[in-house]
Structure formats: C-alpha cells, structure tokens
Structure 1
C-alpha cells in the first residue's frame, strides 16, 4: 500500500459516504435521500445541457475522423521500436469486453423492440418505425460511444507510452496547465475518474446480477429474489478479483477471448436458427440508413416537440452521458493494452470493429425480436413490460429450437462479461490510485474489488442502483469538459512533436 496516492484515500472515503447515504431509508430523509437528490441534478443537467452532451459526443467523432486522415496518424503509441503487445484478435476481444459487452447482451433485444413500439418520431409499429428503431440502436451503440472511448484512450496511451508520463488522466493535461496539474486540480480530475468508474461499474454489477437471476428464473423457474442476486454477486466477485490479481496476460486476457468466442457462438446460433434472410436484409438496409443519416442524427434536437424531447432525454442524452461516465474506465483499460500501435491503426480498430460487430449483434437479436413481434405475434414487448427488460433476450430465445441450450450459453456469456468488466475496472482503479502504475499491487486491486461489489450489493438490497447510476452520469458532466481539454492538449503536443521530430519519433536534423 506504499504506492497509493491521496486519490485512493479521498475516493474510498467519498464512496463510503455515498453508500451510507444510499442505504438511508427514503422515509427517514424524504427530500434529501440519494435517489431524490441525484435525480433532481440529473434532470437539470439533461434538460438544460442536453445540447452540450450532443455537441461534445459529435466533437469526439469529428476529432477521431480527423486523426485517421491527418499526418499525425503515423505516430506510434510508444517508442519507435515498440511492437503491439497483443494480437489483433486478443486486442479486439479485450477492448470489446471492457467497453460494453454486458450492455449489448442486456439491450440487444430490448432496445430495438422498445423503439419499435415507442419511436423517436413518426408512427409506431410500422415498417418505418422498425428501420428507425434499429437505426437508433446502431446510433446509441456505434461510432459515437467508441469515439468517446478512443479519444481518452488515445491520450492516455500517447502520454504514457510515448512521453513516459504517469498513466493518469490528469497527466494528459500537462501541455495546457504545466506543473500546476500536479497539485490540487490534478487530484480533483483523477478523483472524478475514480468516482465515475466505481459507480458506473458497481451499477453494471447490480444490473448484471439482475439479468443473470432473471435468466435463471426464465429458464429454470428459480424465483428471482434479492437473495439470489446477492449470492450471484458474491460468486462473481471471487472470480473477477482472482482474474484481476492474476494480471492482464492471464485471467483478463483468457476471459476476454472466451467472451468473444461465446458471443460469436450465441450470435451465430440465433442468426442461423432464426430468420437468417430477414436479419441480414435488416442489417444491410439499416446500416445504410445509419451511415446516410449519421450527421443529422448526431445534431438532432427537438425544440418544437416536447414528446420527442422526452424520448431524446431518456435515450440519446442519457446514453451520451453514460458513455462519457464510462470513458475514464474503458479509456484507461484500452490505453493499457494498445502500446505499439499507430494512431491511425488505433482509432480505426477502436471505432470500426466494435461498431460493426455491435450493429450485427443488434440486427440478430433485435431483428429476431421484431420479426417475432411482426410476423409471429409473439408480443415480446408485453413480456418485457410484465417481467422487466432483463428478460427480453430470454423471451426471444424461448421461441427458437434448442432454446434451453441457447439460454444457458447466454447466461454463461453474461457471467463472463460480468467478470471481465469488473476485473478490468478493478485493474483501472488500481492504476488510477497508484499514480498510473501499469502493475498495481494486488492488495490495491483487492480493496477496489471488494468496494465495487459491496456498493453494488448494498444498493441492490436497498433498491438504490438507479441512484448510483445517476450519480455516475452526473460525474460525466465535468468529465466531458475535461475530455474537451484533452483534445486541445493532444493537438498541442502533436504540433510540438512535429516541430522537433519526424513522425517515426526520430529527431529532425
């Protein structure tokens, strides 16, 4: 514990206070409980600054595209002789598993069918509504979130591996603020990173436990109770802490590869046992619609329609804030596994591969749900309304041959995604609270692992997960400002380097 920074102690104290606040019964403190206060703040931010989230996310997309085609694309994230540490397949698996794997499983069927019944505009339950539903699912899980991740991950990898700076977010802003960033402001920035990571991942742990429990209930009839969910958290905690403590090249690497294999296997099952031709036609036409309408969707506001504004607040603005809240954790992890790649290779890999895979995933599972709804009168949306969004995937799989086998594979996939998200976050929290150490002590990772699970378990028990999620999203607002500063810091550093060195890292003259 000698290497921990003051960010570790500040973060641990604040998290403990939030958990205590979250478990205070609402009737004891009606107007000042955590759920009420965080909801008021989140509503204010989304209502008043939705445009800011929209413009910020779009700015990160534009910046990423600029880097692909700029002269800086040849700069290596490391020293001239550095080679990539991981193969392409392992690299994609690790960044994908950390980035949004469990979310895809949770929302793959639920989001498109929800948009089909409640579209952002136009009449519901029509052919146009079906295209719009999938188009916006692509939008929410495609280029924009991965551009957000790529921006912060690129900055961390560039400064850590090329400039030998500490692997913390505050160090990225040194070109703008100089040595002043090593004081109070640097501590505040790194605290925001840890704050968003803990609460974002703890919420996902709780949601993951709910979906695993819901899946077991749907498949086996076992009642989905809070006791079952807490047992699931306890079991998974043992696995992910063990994985995190074995390091990147063992537990996390192997589990990420297993994740990808299981995800592809499940997707192929549903694709070829389901309406294959419909799914691929749906994927192709929606992909074209998504690409064609990406600029207008990226800047779409609804100043003349309160109903459409409510939809956008609930979905698009919420997602953009959620991805920004997750960016410190995912960005730090992606940076850690990306040494030796060029900026162009990095940005293309981080944005394009997960976006295409995610689009295919939504087409397979969401397309199957809509096909069942339209052509088989399966009423999937009614199942979701009755039993919860966590059952959407299993309601779809129930209509397939060998449904029990596929459902068991789905539950295993959720478990492995659950473990890899948590062990990656534990590793990142260790880095961010030990001054950017690439190999944080096992004792630090163990403490953060226990804290994450405790927060998830206690707030799940008290019904406070929504407050925890909202608290994480609130942290996205200041971090969005930090990320904008990161862009300016990167450009300033690139220009400074271009004057002194050629783009392979050799000094000019």
Structure 2
C-alpha cells in the first residue's frame, strides 16, 4: 500500500510539472512564501532542538546502550562507516556550494555591509553554520531512532515503527502508513534537489572543460546517463557498489582538498579555518535562533531556512542509510561520530575552497564574485583554474561530482526501496529501479519548472510536515529509553538480591 500510494503521489507531481511547468512553479512559490513567512520559526526551533537532544543522549546515562544486542560488534570499519555516511549525507551539495556560498555571503551578508573583511569572516562562519553540527544533528536523530528500534527492539526498519512507544499497534494501521508515505515524499524531493544541483554542477564542469553548452537539454541528458550508472550501482547491493563508490568518493574528495590546500594560499586558509571555527562556536546559539521580524530581511529565508528544510527532507533517506550501516555501535559512539567527523570535514572543505575563492577575490584581483553572480555552476572551476595544474584539478572536481551523484542516488533508491517494502533490508531490484526512475524524473521536472529556485522551493515545502514527525520521534525515543533504563534497574536489583541470597546461603 505504501509503495503504490507513494508512487502515485510522486507520479502526479511529475505529470503536473512536465505538462504545466509554469503552473507547477507558481503553486510551489506560493506555498514557499506561506511556509517561510508563517513557519520559519518552526524550522529554526526544531533543528536546534534536534541538535541539543542528540548531544544530551550522547552524554546521558543512555549513551552506553548498544544499537543492537549487547554483544553486537560494528559491521563496518570506522573509515568505511565515515565514508558511507558522508557520501550519502551531503556530497554533491558541498561541491556545489563550496565556493559559491561564501562568495554569495561576502557580497550580501546577513548583517552589515558587503565586500568588507567583516563580511568575509561572516561568510565563512555562516557556511560552517549551514553545513556543520545542525544538519548532522537532524540526521543523527532519525538514524538513531531507526537503528535503536530495529536492532535493539526488533521492529521493522520503518519511520512509522519508531513511534511504537507512542502508537503501539497503530503503527501497522493508517496512521503508520501515513507517516511512511510522508517520509518517502520528503525523501524523493530532498534527493531530487541534490540530483538537480549535481546535474547543474556537472554541466558547469563539462562546459568549463570541454565547452559543452549549459542548457536544459544537456542537463536532461546528464540525468539520463547518470541514472543508468546509479541503477547499475544500486542493483549490485550495499557491500559492493555503494561501499566501493563511497570509499572512492572519500579518496577523491581528500585528494581535491589537499590539492587546493597545498597549491593555494595555505597559511591564509589555515588562519581562516581557525578564526571561523572560533566565531562559529562563539555564535552558535545566536545564529541558531536568528530571525528578522523587525527588518523583514529575506536572507534567512533564502539561506538558513532553505538549508534546514533541505536537511529535514533528506533526513529519512540519510537517517535510514546511516542506521543500516551503524549496527553494533553505542549511542554515544554513534552520535559523536555522526556529529563531529562529517562536520569537521565540512569545515575544512569550506575553509579550503571558500577561503581560496575569497583570497582570489580580495587579494589577487580575480573577479570571482562576478563569476558567481553570472553562473553559479562554473564558480568552482574558475577558482580552481587559477591554481597550478588547474585543469587537472577541475577535471578531478567534475569526477567527484559524478561519483557523489551516483552514491547519493543509489543510496536513495536503496532507502526508498526499504521504506516502501515494509522495511525489507534488501529490497528487490524492481522496487529500486522504480524509485530510481521516479527520483530522476522529479529532478528533471524541477529543472524544467525553474532550475535552482525550484529545487530549493521543493525542499522547503515538503520538509515542514516531516519536521513535526521528527519532533514526535524524539518523544518516542526518550520514552523507550526511559522504559529500558527502568527495566534494566529492575533486573539489576533482582541480580543483586540473588547474589546476596547466594552469599548468605554460602555463609550458612
């Protein structure tokens, strides 16, 4: 039922967007305006709350609980685990926004004048903010809930089953099915946003390297070709295609990062990283709850709210995927790993590529800002071109985008298959192929109906109901953990009484 209802709803959006792209775009923009103006506070409060809740669980008495039986060991090494969760979580977006976002913030900062040293510092700080602890806090909550209830409590790997402490057997009825359908729809649009961004970036790379024009036709061709590639990867299974590609991604990303760091202004980049990390930690709370009711500045809606909605829309997909590869880890180990390692990599990424672009703009006389304003997809490649071996590095960046595209998409087809197959850990190829075609179709429709703006709009709208579901999920997790702790204390008292009785008998 979940599979067919979800497919029907997604298919309706595909048909609407394909036949009437202007109508689709107008309706999406109206919904976006309503969502950001009326519920922007909900995104901010919810995302900050998820982060605080995740940190609390890690350092609470529940941190020692294993996501599985007490004797389970982690299935994957730490390196493979980090590579898979990172590649699934935000690979394409990092490459797309690594140069562009800091430059955008430098030109138009959330506070104060643009194109100043203060604006440059703030630009990197907000890039850290948007790609750091908050998104991984969102992912950690869903992944933790899924892993805990599936591996510890023996329930199915479905979003609805994480509500068992609150709903009981009703998770098998209409309420549970509705939760799973909402999770699937949020996932499809969240993933389609990333696939659209990846397509734009691949087109930008091909245009820069080979002069291939940037057009809707070329972008559709890119989606079709890469769809075939990620279908092949998805049908080979988790331990072959996805694991190998994720490890390859990490190696290419590290290589590109080191290239740019060593060939660029190394001292400036390291100094920027240190300064920005301090500013980020110092201003974390104020940035987390910042809205502009008195000035009506649209900046927060265009950036922070878009990102928070995007992460929430991605969360069912990324959370389920992380849960699938995290069996055997303690809650503390799991949360610290999920929060800190990918966040630190994101900080390094923006310090290197954002710092490189800002240095070229501010001190080398390169007009990177004009490039970003004219064509956001070519900014990374123009920036890299100014380095020694720039063409090689640009080619490496294009390869990285393609591999990130494939891993994000094939991970998504795997997860959507699980969500729509009663939590089956190994969904059939038929189901995975169906979702692969549909998510690529949504990406094409969004590109046809408004490009980058339509991609952002889709994420913000579809994420709102799922933010409420996630908040209730936190209540469900806490209730179950408290019940487990209570039962554990009761068992411990029984064990102690038994030991005391045995000691007494032995003395007699």
What band does the TM-score fall into relative to the shorter chain? over 0.9
Q: Is the 8 A contact 2:368 2:379 kept in 1?
A: yes
1:445 maps to 2:435 = no
Matches of residues 40-439 of structure 1 in structure 2 within 5 Å?
A: 40-307=30-297, 310-386=298-374, 388-439=375-426
Shift of the 449–295 alpha-carbon distance from structure 1 to 2, 3 Å rule, reads same
Correspondence for 2:485: 498
C-alpha separation between the residues in 1 aligned to 2:365 and 2:223?
36
Map Cα deviations across residues 24-82 of structure 1 (whole Å, 9 max, x no partner): 3456xxxxx11111111111111111111111111011101101210000000001111
* Structure 1 residue 461, shift from structure 2 partner: 4.3
When Rg is computed on C-alpha atoms for both structures, the one with the higher figure is 2
Q: Is the 8 A contact 1:169 1:190 kept in 2?
A: yes
3-state SS of paired residue (1:82): coil
Shift of the 506–219 alpha-carbon distance from structure 1 to 2, 3 Å rule, reads farther
C-alpha separation between the residues in 2 aligned to 1:90 and 1:507?
40
C-alpha separation between the residues in 2 aligned to 1:263 and 1:322?
22
Q: Is the 8 A contact 1:173 1:486 kept in 2?
A: yes
Shift of the 470–252 alpha-carbon distance from structure 1 to 2, 3 Å rule, reads same
C-alpha separation between the residues in 2 aligned to 1:120 and 1:8?
42
3-state SS of paired residue (1:115): helix
1:10 maps to 2:8 = no
* Structure 1 residue 502, shift from structure 2 partner: 6.0
Q: How many residues align?
A: 495
Map Cα deviations across residues 284-319 of structure 1 (whole Å, 9 max, x no partner): 010011011111111222222123xx1111111111
1:476 maps to 2:463 = yes
C-alpha separation between the residues in 2 aligned to 1:304 and 1:176?
39
Q: Is the 8 A contact 1:501 1:508 kept in 2?
A: no
* Structure 1 residue 275, shift from structure 2 partner: 0.1
Q: CA RMSD in A?
A: 1.6
Q: Is the 8 A contact 1:195 1:472 kept in 2?
A: no
Q: Is the 8 A contact 1:109 1:366 kept in 2?
A: yes
Q: Is the 8 A contact 1:500 1:507 kept in 2?
A: no
Shift of the 502–262 alpha-carbon distance from structure 1 to 2, 3 Å rule, reads farther
3-state SS of paired residue (1:108): helix
C-alpha separation between the residues in 2 aligned to 1:136 and 1:506?
48
C-alpha separation between the residues in 2 aligned to 1:204 and 1:75?
34
Unaligned regions of 5+ residues in structure 2, if any? Answer: 496-508
Compare 453-462 and 474-483 and name the one that shifted more: 453-462
Shift of the 306–378 alpha-carbon distance from structure 1 to 2, 3 Å rule, reads same
* Structure 1 residue 470, shift from structure 2 partner: 2.4
Q: Is the 8 A contact 1:34 1:467 kept in 2?
A: no
Shift of the 152–202 alpha-carbon distance from structure 1 to 2, 3 Å rule, reads same
C-alpha separation between the residues in 2 aligned to 1:190 and 1:321?
18
C-alpha separation between the residues in 2 aligned to 1:198 and 1:410?
26
Shift of the 206–401 alpha-carbon distance from structure 1 to 2, 3 Å rule, reads same
3-state SS of paired residue (1:100): helix
3-state SS of paired residue (2:110): coil
3-state SS of paired residue (2:74): coil
Correspondence for 1:3: none
Q: Is the 8 A contact 1:456 1:465 kept in 2?
A: no
Correspondence for 2:442: 455
* Structure 1 residue 467, shift from structure 2 partner: 3.8
Map Cα deviations across residues 430-480 of structure 1 (whole Å, 9 max, x no partner): 000001111111111111112222332344345467445523421211111
Map Cα deviations across residues 161-180 of structure 1 (whole Å, 9 max, x no partner): 11111101000011011112
Unaligned regions of 5+ residues in structure 1, if any? Answer: 1-5, 28-32
* Structure 1 residue 481, shift from structure 2 partner: 0.6
Correspondence for 2:506: none
Map Cα deviations across residues 302-345 of structure 1 (whole Å, 9 max, x no partner): 222123xx111111111111111111111111111100000000
Shift of the 330–508 alpha-carbon distance from structure 1 to 2, 3 Å rule, reads farther
C-alpha separation between the residues in 2 aligned to 1:22 and 1:507?
62
* Structure 1 residue 261, shift from structure 2 partner: 0.3
Compare 453-462 and 405-414 and name the one that shifted more: 453-462
C-alpha separation between the residues in 2 aligned to 1:455 and 1:63?
33
C-alpha separation between the residues in 1 aligned to 2:215 and 2:36?
33
TM-score (norm 1): 0.94
Shift of the 458–126 alpha-carbon distance from structure 1 to 2, 3 Å rule, reads closer
C-alpha separation between the residues in 1 aligned to 2:108 and 2:455?
26
Shift of the 299–445 alpha-carbon distance from structure 1 to 2, 3 Å rule, reads same
